[in-house]
Chains A and B, each alone.
Chain A
Amino acid sequence: MVNNELLEIIFLTLRVSGSALAIACVLGIPFGLILGSEEFRGKKIIQLLISTGMGLPPVVVGLVVYLLLSNQGPLGTINWLFSPSGMILSQSILAFPLAAGFTSSAIAAVSPKLIIQIRSMGTTSWQEKITIFSQARNGIIAAVLAAFGRIISEVGAVMLVGGNIEGHTRVLSTAIVLETRQGKFAFALSLGFVLLGIALLANSLTYYFGGQWEK
């Protein structure tokens, strides 16, 4: 019984965090690639917004998404409040600035002299972009890990937007809060270990495949 419930919680945690991570990276990495390599008007302001976004308090994001999704809110009709979709939305918002910001600094750290020398060989602009991207690879892996770290450990936004509904929106972090409040410290702690285990596994896989990629 407990086992089934636990599995469900783990599965939902992976589903919500995985989807949010995917969305944040699919949007954030190309965004960071442009931000780190192109010059355009308003770039400074966007950089400022991104770096502020990297430290957004999850509860505030949760609150804003809550208001957006609530019945009276502008997105009320899609019925995402207290649903995994709403949780994914708020976690994507939290992780996007990290994916974009770290990617952008990794790209900007690629030596401009190297880029000129590569370009002088007659690269197309696509080849140039791919090459810069591959040179910034380690920084981009760090961007993904940072985004993942933010999402998996986050409790404020999923709590507000998801509501911690058993069998529906309860994830590891919100379950830990609940169990702790109810004084079930041992169970809370074991949930904590599961969370840690997931983080450790994700990091190990990244390092493993990152290392493979390198050689």
Chain B
Amino acid sequence: MTPNNIFKIENLEKKYGERKVVDIKNIYVNNGDFFVIVGPSGAGKSTFLRLLKYLEEPTNGDIYFEGKKLSNPLDVNIQRSISMVFQRPEFLKRSVFENVEFPLWIRGKKDNEKVEKVLGQVDIGNLIREKTSSLSGGELQRLALARAMVVDPKVLLLDEPTANLDPYNVELIEKIVLNLNKAGKTIVMVTHNVFQAKRLASSAGLLLNGKLVEVGSADTFFNTPKDARVKDFLEGRMVY
């Protein structure tokens, strides 16, 4: 095992009843990667991310985080090293400020300046005293990002972070996560949006019916994919 691995996945399987929803042989996510998994809706992308965060236990196989095998219940320090932005983020019935302060509070490290700084980074510094119920979809998504970023995690997991957002918010969020990655943050993102994947990924894979059909550097994956299904998907010819 190279110490460079953040995640190492071995024969990962998740079944719901008899249905295998995730079935991934061997992949690595390296330190500093922006790893993006694309795939149609229902491919198992969200389930895959939930497995990485150990919100669900794999039916078979292992996940290693920095060389440590994940098991249930997940070690709280590992839990806190991995921040996840959910496909449909939910918030506390409190202010914007308190929602971002919350993960710091958990760690016993409340820090007003940090909260203000990160809200500025996602460009909702002006909404700091608002209740979350008064925010728009794009603002909420950025709040979810702020809440994940504020604790400076080792990895960020992003589940369709711009689904259903307007182009302004999409661009803003992409800029923020790209900057984070440039600053060294490891990111694992899943999306059905090929164009977004292309704009962001340093390495990428296609998930179809729970199976990763091709994984590689962004350059290879997007420009010279070997698998016909990847070509079809990238060119929008895949029927789903």
Contacts and interface: CB of A to CB of B under 8 A. Distances in A.
A119 B53 CA distance: 11
Nearest to A110: B93
A111 interface: yes
The number of chain B residues touching the other chain, given as a range, is 20 to 34
Contacts of A120: 53, 55, 79, 84
Interface string B181-210: 000000000000000000000000000000
A117 B106 contact: no
Interface stretch (A123-131, A152-160, A163-171): A123-131
Contacts of B86: 113, 117
Contact of B90 (A114, A124, A131): A114
Given A114-B90, A117-B90, A124 B76 contact: yes
Given A121-B106, A123-B106, A111 B80 contact: no
Nearest to B80: A122
Contact of A135 (B55, B76, B93, B107): B93
B102 interface: yes
Contacts of A124: 76, 106
A2 interface: no
A111 B103 contact: no
A124 B74 CA distance: 12
Residue with the greatest number of chain B CB neighbours at <10 A, chosen from A113, A117, A123, A135? A117
Contacts of A118: 92, 102
Contact of B76 (A113, A117, A122): A122
A116 interface: yes
A124 B77 CA distance: 11
B79 A117 contact: no
Contacts of B151: 121
A113 B93 contact: no
A122 B79 contact: yes
B233 interface: no
A118 B105 CA distance: 12
A16 to B, nearest CB: 35
A53 to B, nearest CB: 29
Contact of A111 (B55, B76, B90, B102): B90
Contacts of B88: 113
Given A114-B90, A122-B107, 19 more contacts: A113-B86, A113-B90, A114-B91, A114-B92, A118-B92, A121-B79, A121-B80, A121-B83, A121-B103, A121-B106, A122-B77, A122-B80, A122-B103, A122-B106, A123-B106, A124-B76, A131-B102, A134-B92, A135-B92
5 closest Cβ pairs, A-B complex: A122-B80, A122-B79, A114-B90, A121-B103, A113-B90
Interface of A: 111, 113-114, 116-124, 127, 131, 134-135
Interface of B: 53, 55, 76-77, 79-80, 83-84, 86, 88-93, 102-103, 105-107, 151
8 contacts: A116-B55, A117-B89, A119-B55, A121-B80, A122-B103, A122-B106, A122-B107, A131-B102
